[in-house]
Amino acid sequence: MTSTIPRPSRFRVAGALGWFGRDRLGGQAVWIAVPFGINQIVRLVTSVVLARLLAPEMFGIMLLVNTLRTGAELLSDIGIGQSVVKSPRGNERRFLDTAWTLQVLRGALLTGATIVAAVPIGSIYGHPELTPILFAISSVFTFTGLQSPNLFLMQRHIWLRTRAVYELGCMAFQCALTIALAAVMSSVWALVWGLMASTLFSTIMSYLIGGMHRPSFCWDKSAAREIFHFGKWIFFSTMIYFAASSTDNLYFVAVLPLSVAGVYGYARTFAGFFDQLGNRVGSTLIFPKLAALGENRTEAAGRLRGRRRFFLGLVALVIAVAIAASDEVVLLLLDPRYRLAAFMLPVLLIGVWFKVLSSFADAMLMGCGRPGPGAFANSAKFVVLLVGLPLAIGHASLFVALFVLILAEAMRWAVLAPILQGERLATVADDLALTALLGVAAVTLKLAVGALGLALTFSEWWALGQGLHG
């Protein structure tokens, strides 16, 4: 008899259908929105404090390091976690242990590869300080490889409260430790040691939450075959996703002064606060729920479209407020070294809107068992960046390059939206109407807050970017 991990009785098709009703949606949305809001507030405060303690050049170095680290993880992603969520065998101990074994092996291989590549990367970018940093960061892959499969089970069964406690605890530890290290060291190594220690902490915590499953090394051929079969599209999709999402970081660090690249990375981090909510809802709620529904998802399609419109309408209004007022917030919170971030952030937030639309579409299609469209959408985005960024920087300006980023995100959405409409889970017309709502609200609010002196006017904002316009 196959050994399985006990799962909640509510995790059934009927329960999944019930989620699209008001009661379940409201309760689950609270356990996503409230922890997410707390997380973002703490991270914002941490970012402001670190910006006062550390120079922009240090964030430029870490922009490259984190991009390379994320790239290594994405380029080796075979969909282990997604397979646990999607597979009918996801609760079986042998399946979970095989998935964990693959994860450990992947982490060990990434650690070795990073050590080997550290010297060449430092030489290519002309920053020899990168080499010892990459040697140190290589241990992060081992730590993440050892993380408990409890994290997969939390996503599979949508245990939002447990996940929220875990993530808030890990985030609080990382922020507090990194600030303490920055206050003492005032060097990029504060960020490096903070990342390493917090990753180890999160790995330890993954075994302490819930007491769901204690893994052991196992190799089940049928389980491994299923993971690799489902993961082939995940691998291709994440490979293209990395190229599409990191081309700007890798290119800007190579062609711009580190201080400017660091300010861009900082503005990008601020903008990321807004699109992470869409990613969180998609990965922790939409994807597992649609995966649970299977062929029965057509019964919930109409209600899902309505809930999607409502949620994205709220997101559009929040982003509109951020576009209108974020420049003033940056100037108030940060010192003059980061002044350019106040100019960059409103532009980046326009691209964030298309990121949110795409993240929702990608999660829904993944829940339908269709990871392929995400890969094609990211390929389209990558092509726009690959052609557009060198042309913008070489023949125009960084300002034009920022709008290339918006075009790339819009291209990704344009590929996904018709496919999602074909699944009857959304309509292109809805997304265009929501985009128009965002545009009208952002312009109206900007004119209003500028006239009232609560934020910069359009002309004052434009003046911030002198030297970037070409």
Tell me the pLDDT tens digit for each residue of 95-142.
Answer: 989 999 999 999 999 999 999 999 998 888 888 888 999 999 999 999
Q: Is the pLDDT of residue 229 over 90?
A: no
Contacts 24+ apart (CB under 8 A), 371-374: 371/79, 371/82, 371/230, 371/233, 371/234, 371/237, 372/233, 372/237, 373/415, 373/416, 373/419, 374/237, 374/241, 374/416
Q: Which two tokens stand for residue 120?
A: 């060449």
**179 falls in which pLDDT band (50, 70, 90)?**
very high
Query: Who's near 123: CB < 8 A, 6+ residues apart?
Result: none
Contact indicator for 150, 207 with CB cutoff of 8 Å: yes
Least trusted range by pLDDT, from 20-29, 44-53, 188-197: 20-29
Query: Who's near 54: CB < 8 A, 6+ residues apart?
Result: 182, 186, 187, 188, 190, 191
Least trusted range by pLDDT, from 139-143, 172-176, 437-441, 460-464: 460-464
Contact indicator for 92, 83 with CB cutoff of 8 Å: no
DSSP, res 286: I
Contact indicator for 27, 156 with CB cutoff of 8 Å: no
Q: Is the pLDDT of residue 1 over 60?
A: no
Query: Who's near 358: CB < 8 A, 6+ residues apart?
Result: 377, 409, 412, 413, 416
- Summarize pLDDT for 142-166 with one digit per residue, the tens: 999 999 888 888 877 777 788 888 8
Least trusted range by pLDDT, from 231-240, 310-319, 452-461: 231-240
CB atoms within 10 A of CB 259: 17
> In angstroms, how far is the first alpha carbon of the chain from the final one?
69
Task: State the average pLDDT over residues 170-197.
Answer: 93
Longest dimension (CA), the chain: 71
Our CA dihedral for 45, 51, 53, 57, rounded to 10 degrees, sits at 150
* CB-count burial class (<10 Å; 0-12, 13-18, 19+) for 218: middle
% residues pLDDT > 70 (the chain): 85
| CA gap 229, 233 in Å, rounded | 8
Query: Who's near 383: CB < 8 A, 6+ residues apart?
Result: none
The helix/strand/coil state of 92 is strand
CA nearest neighbour of 323 among 406, 234, 206: 406
Domain ranges of the chain: 58-228, 256-470
Query: Who's near 398: CB < 8 A, 6+ residues apart?
Result: 256, 260, 392, 468
Q: Is the pLDDT of residue 431 over 80?
A: yes
Contact indicator for 365, 421 with CB cutoff of 8 Å: no
| CA gap 9, 19 in Å, rounded | 14
**16 falls in which pLDDT band (50, 70, 90)?**
very low
CA nearest neighbour of 234 among 61, 364, 83: 83
C-alpha 439: how far from chain center: 24
The helix/strand/coil state of 4 is strand
Global pTM reads 0.69
Contact indicator for 134, 122 with CB cutoff of 8 Å: yes
**13 falls in which pLDDT band (50, 70, 90)?**
very low
